[in-house]
Structure formats: structure tokens, C-alpha cells
Amino acid sequence: RLLAELVSPVTTQQPTTAPVDVRTLGQDLLLPWRHNRSASRHLMDEINNCTNTQADAILTRTNTRVGQKIRYYIQHEKTFQASRGFYNTLPRDSPLPATPYRRCSVVGNGAVLLGSGCGQEIDRADFVFRSNLPPLTGNFTRDTGQKANWTTVNPISQLNWRFNLLSNKPANKDKFARHVRQYSGLLWVSAFGVKAATTVSVRAQRVLREKNVKSLGVVYGNPRHFAAVRDYWAYNGLSMRLSTGIYLTTIALSTCDEVHLFGFWPFDVSHSGEKLLYHYYDKPDTKKKPISASPHNMPKEFLKLVNLHRSGILKIHLET
């Protein structure tokens, strides 16, 4: 989940769009799909005209100055002044290449992934985005794959609550370093949503350095980029708290020639009519969180993505 819902509990449920006939939708998504390269390129340019994802999605020493006041994107009234020490922890330049990746996978955490057998197809991409430190090992691998080049982390619910990194206890640091070794590339933290997120995000970076985890670098999401993506979607009919999945999809659409989505299915019933849990890793006996309880309007976001699928701009995969 993005930080918004953790810091400001939702009081009014977003109205969901008209009920979706999931079977028909599923059949539609399983039809043969052809990539529409010119439409993809057009959308890539459109997003990059609003915000330059390659240069600005991540805070770097190129897009940030010493002494700059970084404005939080949820707590707009608050800022963080970048000290020399903080600045020195940023990558010099964007870790994203100037030329687009050829093929990217964006993996959502929906239970539709379980039993999909999509692991190999996911890992076939040149670059793989994942959300919220999902499990990729053991029995999951066949469905999830193992490649992870950009993995998001929620600083409050994960770094703070799940790994308790602020406590500075060696056992917590070990547990965190052990868990994240299954990913490589970028560990992207939304460090500038709310003030409480920053210290623990900086701590995560220090822990990985201390533990000598070389395959993975903690980077901080640029709140200006997030705000620009939010405005882009608001202008295009999604005035809501964006989910991590649609944010990552937008990054992929603006930096990859071909975008493939997996694990996106925000419904309680599968395309073949079976009851579904929320996440692919939820246990049947854990208290089930209904999708309708999410503060994001995932079904409405999903229908936007379905339109992009129908236009050949991205492909939504449900099974192999």
C-alpha cells in the first residue's frame, strides 16, 4: 500500500465502478494480443512530457542539490532539507538507462498469480518491477519468477513495523538483510511521502551497506515525480490515491518499449469463477481483507489498464 492510507485512514470508500463481469473480462484478456508499437511510443512520450521518468523517478545527485528543501508529497506542508551527508548517499545519476528497456514485466501481488505458471514469462523480461517485498522463493517461483530489478518497499508498514529497523537491534537488521537478498537492483523506498518515512528509509540504506549486500541499492522515490504521475492520471480520469501497481506501470510505460503485467486482478473471483484471496501469498486461514476495503480504487484503475491492453499498449497476463 502507498503511504497515504497508513497516515490518513480512509473515511469514505471510493465509489467503485459498475460491477464487472469478471468472466467476460477474463475471456477478453485471454484473446490473442498484438503489441501496438506506435501507440506505446505515443503514450511513452505523453507521460514523459509531464515528467521525465528516466531522469526524475529516483532522487539523484543530478536532480537534487545540497540544501534543497524536498517537499513531502502527502504531508505537503512539510519539507526535508538535503544535507551534504544525505546528498552523498544518492546515486550520482539515474540508474535508469537513457534508451528504453526492450521488454519489462510489472508484477502485482494479486492472488490471480497463484497457479498461473507465469514465472518464466515474467523473468523473460529485461527488467522486472515488483511491489512490497513479495516472496519469490520455494513453491512460489513457478508462478512469480525470481528476477527483481526494481522492488518497492513501504517504509512504514515494512521497514518500521515488519522489520522494526528503527530499533537498531542486530537481529532485526539481519532479518531485513536476509529477506532482501532475494531481490537485486533497486530497492525503491517512498521515503518522502510523510516525514515519519525518511529516517527509517535512510536506515535501510545504511543496514544494507553495513551487511555488505552489494547486489541491491536502496534508492528514494522522488516526491515530485510521484505528484506528476498522480496529476497525469487525475487528468486522465483517475482522481484517487494511486496504488503501487499503477505507479510502477506508469514508470514502465515511460521507460520500456513493451510492458507486460502479471498479478493484476483486483477482484474476489478469478476469471474462471474461483474465489480468490487478496494477495498470492495470503494464507487461507489469515483474516481476509476484502479488495473493496482498499483505499485505492483498484477495479477502476484496472479498467484503465484493460483499455491499454485492448489498444495493444500493454499486455495483461492471467495465465500462461
- Which sequence positions are flagged as catalytic? 296
Quick check: 104 binds ligand CDP (CB under 6 A)? Answer: no
**Minimum gap (Å) between residue 88 Cβ and ligand CDP:** 30
Q: How far apart are CA 204 and CA 217, in angstroms?
A: 10
Binding string to ligand CDP for residues 2 to 21, with x set by CB under 6 A, is what? x-------------------
Q: Return phi, psi of residue 319, to 5°.
A: -155, 175
Residue closest to ligand CDP, measured at CB: 245
Closest CA to 281 of 115, 106, 105, 104: 115
Quick check: 160 binds ligand CDP (CB under 6 A)? Answer: no
Q: 148 CB contacts (<8 Å, ≥6 apart)?
A: 128, 130, 136, 182, 183, 184, 185
Closest CA to 195 of 79, 66, 84: 79
Q: Which one of 160, 252, 265, 316 is in contact with ligand CDP (CB under 6 A)?
A: 265
Helices marked H in the chain — which ranges?
3-7, 22-30, 37-50, 53-56, 84-88, 119-123, 141-144, 170-180, 196-210, 223-235, 244-255, 298-310
Q: Which region, judged by CB under 6 A, interacts with ligand CDP, from 142-150, 251-259, 264-272, 307-315?
A: 264-272
**Minimum gap (Å) between residue 292 Cβ and ligand CDP:** 11
Q: Which one of 132, 146, 172, 182 is in contact with ligand CDP (CB under 6 A)?
A: 132
Name the CA dihedral angle for 210, 217, 144, 243, rounded to a multiple of 10 degrees: 120
Task: Read off the C-alpha cell for 195.
Answer: 516525514
**Minimum gap (Å) between residue 237 Cβ and ligand CDP:** 17
Quick check: 298 binds ligand CDP (CB under 6 A)? Answer: yes
Q: Which one of 110, 119, 193, 221 is in contact with ligand CDP (CB under 6 A)?
A: 110
Closest CA to 155 of 207, 113, 116: 207
# residues contacting ligand CDP (CB under 6 A): 22
CB burial string 303-318: b at 16+ within 10 A, e below: bebbebbeeebbbbbb
**Which amino acid is located at 236 in the chain?**
N
Q: Which region, judged by CB under 6 A, interacts with ligand CDP, from 48-56, 60-68, 74-82, 105-113?
A: 105-113
Q: Which one of 109, 149, 160, 254 is in contact with ligand CDP (CB under 6 A)?
A: 109
Q: Which one of 163, 220, 232, 278 is in contact with ligand CDP (CB under 6 A)?
A: 278
Query: In terms of C-beta density within 10 A (0-12 exposed, 13-18 middle, 19 or more buried), how is residue 57 classed?
Result: buried
Instruction: CB nearer to ligand CDP: give 173 or 317.
Output: 317
Residue labelled with grid coordinates 502507498: 2
Task: Read off the C-alpha cell for 14.
Answer: 471510493
Q: Computed from CA positions of residues 136, 138, 140, 142, in that sequence, does the dihedral angle turn out positive or negative? A: positive
Interface residues for ligand CDP in 224-253 (CB under 6 A)?
Answer: 243-246
Instruction: CB nearer to ligand CDP: give 67 or 115.
Output: 115
**Minimum gap (Å) between residue 270 Cβ and ligand CDP:** 10
Quick check: 131 binds ligand CDP (CB under 6 A)? Answer: yes
**Minimum gap (Å) between residue 267 Cβ and ligand CDP:** 7
CA terminus-to-terminus distance, the chain: 27
Quick check: 264 binds ligand CDP (CB under 6 A)? Answer: yes
**Minimum gap (Å) between residue 169 Cβ and ligand CDP:** 26
Name the site residues for ligand CDP (rule: CB under 6 A).
Answer: 1-2, 108-111, 131-132, 243-246, 263-266, 278-279, 291, 296, 298, 302
